[in-house]
Structure 1
Amino acid sequence: MKKILIIIFGIIAGLFTSCQEDYLEAPAKSTLDESVIFSNAGLAKGAVDGIKEPFGQTNSYRGRFIPFYGFNTDTEWNLNSDKENDAQADLMIYDAKPNNSQMNTENNAWSQMYTGIERANICIRGLRTFGNPEPGTELGQLLGEALTLRAIYYADLMKAWGDVPARFEPINSETLYIAKSSRDIIYKQLIADLGEASTLVAWPNETSSTTTVERINKAFVKGFRARLAMVASGFQQYPDAVRRSTDPELSVAAMYQLALNECRDVINSGKASLEPSFQNFWKKYNEENITAGGESLWEIPFADGRGRVLFSFAVRHRSVDQYTGQARGGIAGPLPTVFYDYDESDLRRDVTCVPYQWGTATNGVSKQELISSDTWNFGKYRYEWMKRFVTSTNDDGVNKIYMRYAEVLLIAAEAANELEGPAAAAPYLKEIRKRAFAAADHPIKVEAYVNALNNKQAMFNAIVNEHKFEFTGEMERKQALIRWNLLKTNLEEAKIKMANFKNRTGEYTNVPTTLYFKYKADNETLEIYGLNRGETTNPGPEYSAKTWNSLTDTKVNSLFKTGVNPDNRQFWPIWQVFIDGSNGKLVNDYNY
């Protein structure tokens, strides 16, 4: 049964207390405890599981980082972005302030991430000192997990805040207050740590420890290491400019080669693969199938009563109904133009972009109902695909996918294109597109399409687009746009495209302004006509009509705040409570 363990038993409680002065001045007791815990695989596993506990805290990943980080992009937006002087909206429109009321609390994601890092540091020290963690042993697996979990926390800290304090040893009285470190230093440490971790953890299903995607496995570690290598060598906002790192160890040549090697290791291992059907993959995800060895490489694990992934992002349910005991979902969705960016025969389109919600239930049963053209839902998250009936009022317990095999293929394509040319990238891109189209479409949509990408720039542009089609709704796009140096460019282009969609001009001239709908035989699911370009003829008297042209200039301009350059706001500010509590060590850059 999937779960995230909260470490409460007395023998290790002292290890994970908050950093109080009396704790810091009592190393002898802590060392004695560690010698007991980290020489015993069962106790050590409990301690390593405890590293994951901060993910589930309300103001951590559960209720703040997962719902809010990653917006707004050229493909996704938070539907509250048009609210003025709103703390949540400010996080999305590149106008966050250090005193943001949603985030400026002592128990926010920033502190929870460092709690996880401190727990990881204690586990890593204890396992190295007392555990003899060799490859192929339980203690070796646990050390690899601890190193990887620490890297996850650090990767997300840098994704959201840029340069952050580097803590790779447990806190003591001399290191209670420290300044920020260069992210280049941290990235190099994480890349080295993940290199070690990959020698310690097993492949998916190779041991009993790696049978579920809630435990760290070698395929994930290698894929994650490839992702970090691409990010570390990519463009990002430094205090002086948006640029690549000047550290030669983080050069494009070095990092892309590392990423390509790691991705090829995963691909050639046969230990992970694409689910043959895109829709079936997302159905299995919502059904909470956590078996390792498929497409999902690792997921942030939530217990049934924790986690707000569907609560935040699922197709909206307006009331308790036959599919859910909580009336939620729908705080964010694809931009109105995204559906029309897909090829009409792309099988991912209708899974990803949903133009309806579930209305208010009558006698406990609700029906799908069309929503306006500016409020699409993410279709990857659906209560109606769950096997479990959610009863919590504010948590759904569905895991958050942290990385899947499709990303490994696209990283391999991008790195191979840069280092070896488009022909080397083509097989990886083809594998992604083969799943996206029916077999009858492969000669044109896969083979001819990819074979025509005969130079690096054309292949790169295709990879950028494929990333959108594959990952819309997973909040991976923002960091990718940043490292490609496309954040500002693509956000500005997205505003233009939405204005064209609103006015039905340019590439949206032939998009209908009226939808026609009726209910299928089950009397709850919609049959819709008029979504595709050119579908303008009334299909018959059994259909009802709905105007499909509600997008406003105010909504279009809410993608990012007017007058703000998103490239100058790639990161959130460090929240004021942490600045004030840093003994003068922490400051905000980027003119915050």
Structure 2
Amino acid sequence: MSKSINKILLGCVVLLFAACEKTVEIDPPLNEITTAQVFSTDKLATSAMAGVYTGLASTTTQNNVNTVYSSLYADDLAYLAVNPTYLEVANNSYSALSTFQGTIFSEWYSVIYRANSVIEGLQKYEGTSAQVKKQLTAESKVIRAYCYFNLINTFGDVPLVLTTDVTISALQPKETVATIYKQIIADLSEGKANLLDNYSASSNTRLGVNKFVATALLARTYLFTGDYAAAESNASEVITASNLFSIIPAATMTTGVWTKNNPESIWQMSSPIAITNQYTVEAGTFLATVTTSPQFEIRSSLLQQFDSNDLRRKNWMRTYGTGINARVLPYKYKYATNAEAVTAGVIEGPTVLRLAEQYLIRAEARARIGTNITGARTDMNVIRTRAEATVSITTDPAVLLQEILLETRKEFFCEQTHRWFNIKRLGQADAILTALKPGYKPTSKLLPIPTANIDANPNLIQNPGY
């Protein structure tokens, strides 16, 4: 976060168009481009915005840690090997002396810094059209909100940095989670109001944020903050946009949910390595060594939750080995290498948001409000029906709510941060993990603030328990 705005934005203008998948030709040498020039035309400003997308997609936190670490923090996944960091994560035994959380903390703030740089540059310098300025400012704020949502659900109270001025940010104290949620909602609401309701700004790919990305993130945020009416209404807006979104049917769900630009996806990332890559880092992590010795396995407590005919158990998990050596692994993304994906003729897209979540958000919100139990059950059964699982017929609101929460777990196992963030939101983490992991402590629900950041900022206080 101590880098100058010039260094970051000069790098942005030569990055690939993560949202548009094409490069920008720039005539002046890099050492002649000033910050003012970056925002002197719509084309250059758009390339700076592409740098924000590329920066996010290329972080190890977004392309790997969010799924792998979160599945280990929670109760989806067990670790079978000896890597010290994975052992810390799997046992929730991290401490202030741990180092892995420093990367997570710095990568989220690095993307926030890039987003703030674009927001400030568009405000300060002339040259971009009013429409492009409005569009890129809104995109930057949605991405900033997404980063802060992840930060507070990982670390709790953190500094709320809304500027690139390091004389201010370097000494900022923590803000409360409640305060940061207000900023998240403000940023997402502005994005919802100002972004297009299609994907034309990202060349009709789902790599860019639009109105419905902001709306879907608002639905999630309102669910986490307990505003169930707002969660329901925002999820409904996404669900009813049937010209853009639909649930992938059972016949093609094995791979269809994970392919690039499929109609269930709301927001996807570009490959963190090369725009032409057709596989995901997550699959590379889970599946790369399975033929020799798998590093991970899905916990039996999760496997037991699935009906025998559930297509998610059949198609989104895979058993490696036999007998006592058999291990069940996540198999949502299918290809550990680009060569495998190319041979199969499949292009997988790292998926951040998909429509199934909106159905389950609306189902939970309706169940908690209690005035539309039939609608809540119908929403959940959309997901169960696609999986060919037994549909619910309950009319008991309490039973239905528990069914919805379980359905969310089954639908989103080993996917992004869903299980980890949800068991903390629901107040279930201590009971679940104390029984599962002997070394677990309630303070482990939050990672420690990196020691290097505390040493550099006397106003930054360590989290309890560290």
Distance 1:177 1:15 in 2: 27
| 1:321-359 Cα distance to aligned partner (Å, 9 max, x none) | xxxxxxx9x543321233332111212111233221xxx
Q: Secondary structure at the match of 1:403?
A: strand
Question: Would you tell me which structure has more helix in proportion to its own residues?
Answer: 2
Distance 1:342 1:11 in 2: 47
1:472 corresponds in structure 2 to 413
Q: Cα distance, 1:10 vs. partner?
A: 8.6
Computed over aligned residues only, the root mean square deviation of the Cα atoms, in angstroms, reads 3.3
1:20 corresponds in structure 2 to none
Q: Which residue identity does 1:44 align to in structure 2?
A: A
1:415 corresponds in structure 2 to 365
Q: Cα distance, 1:591 vs. partner?
A: 1.6
Q: Secondary structure at the match of 2:158?
A: coil
Residues 1:95 and 2:68 are matched in the alignment = no
Q: Cα distance, 1:120 vs. partner?
A: 0.6
Residues 1:291 and 2:261 are matched in the alignment = yes
In 2, are the aligned partners of 1:57 and 1:63 still within 8 Å (CA)? no
In 2, are the aligned partners of 1:133 and 1:141 still within 8 Å (CA)? no
Structure with larger RCO (C-alpha < 8 A, sep 6+) = 2
Q: 1:463 to 1:315 in 2, by over 3 A?
A: farther
2:210 maps to which of 188, 209, 217: 217
TM-score (norm 2): 0.83
In 2, are the aligned partners of 1:166 and 1:180 still within 8 Å (CA)? yes
2:354 corresponds in structure 1 to 404
Residues 1:183 and 2:177 are matched in the alignment = yes
Q: Which runs of 5+ in 1 are unaligned?
A: 1-7, 17-31, 234-251, 320-327, 357-368, 392-396, 496-558
| 1:141-199 Cα distance to aligned partner (Å, 9 max, x none) | 32221111111211111121111110012224243221111111111111111011012
Q: 1:349 to 1:179 in 2, by over 3 A?
A: same
| 1:494-550 Cα distance to aligned partner (Å, 9 max, x none) | x5xxxxxxxxxxxxxxxxxxxxxxxxxxxxxxxxxxxxxxxxxxxxxxxxxxxxxxx
Q: Cα distance, 1:130 vs. partner?
A: 4.4
In 1, are the aligned partners of 2:138 and 2:191 still within 8 Å (CA)? yes
1:383 maps to which of 335, 341, 351: 335
Q: 1:183 to 1:268 in 2, by over 3 A?
A: same
Distance 1:314 1:299 in 2: 21
In 1, are the aligned partners of 2:454 and 2:460 still within 8 Å (CA)? yes
In 2, are the aligned partners of 1:54 and 1:113 still within 8 Å (CA)? no
Residues 1:490 and 2:432 are matched in the alignment = yes
Larger deviation, residues 573-582 vs 408-417: 573-582
Q: Secondary structure at the match of 2:72?
A: coil
* Number of aligned residue pairs: 433
What fraction of aligned residue pairs are identical, expressed as a percent?
23
2:322 corresponds in structure 1 to 370
- Kindly report which structure 2 residues correspond to 1:54-133, keeping only aligned pairs within 5 A, or say none: 54-55=55-56, 60-62=61-63, 64-80=65-81, 86-104=84-102, 108-130=103-125
Distance 2:315 2:6 in 1: 44
1:366 corresponds in structure 2 to none
Q: Which residue identity does 1:256 align to in structure 2?
A: Y
Q: Which residue identity does 2:247 align to in structure 1?
A: L
In 1, are the aligned partners of 2:99 and 2:450 still within 8 Å (CA)? no
Q: 1:276 to 1:128 in 2, by over 3 A?
A: farther
Report which of the two structures shows the higher radius of gyration computed on alpha carbons.
1
Q: Which residue identity does 2:420 align to in structure 1?
A: K
2:398 corresponds in structure 1 to 457
Distance 1:342 1:113 in 2: 34
Q: Cα distance, 1:15 vs. partner?
A: 8.6
1:346 corresponds in structure 2 to 310
Distance 1:590 1:571 in 2: 9
Q: Secondary structure at the match of 2:56?
A: helix
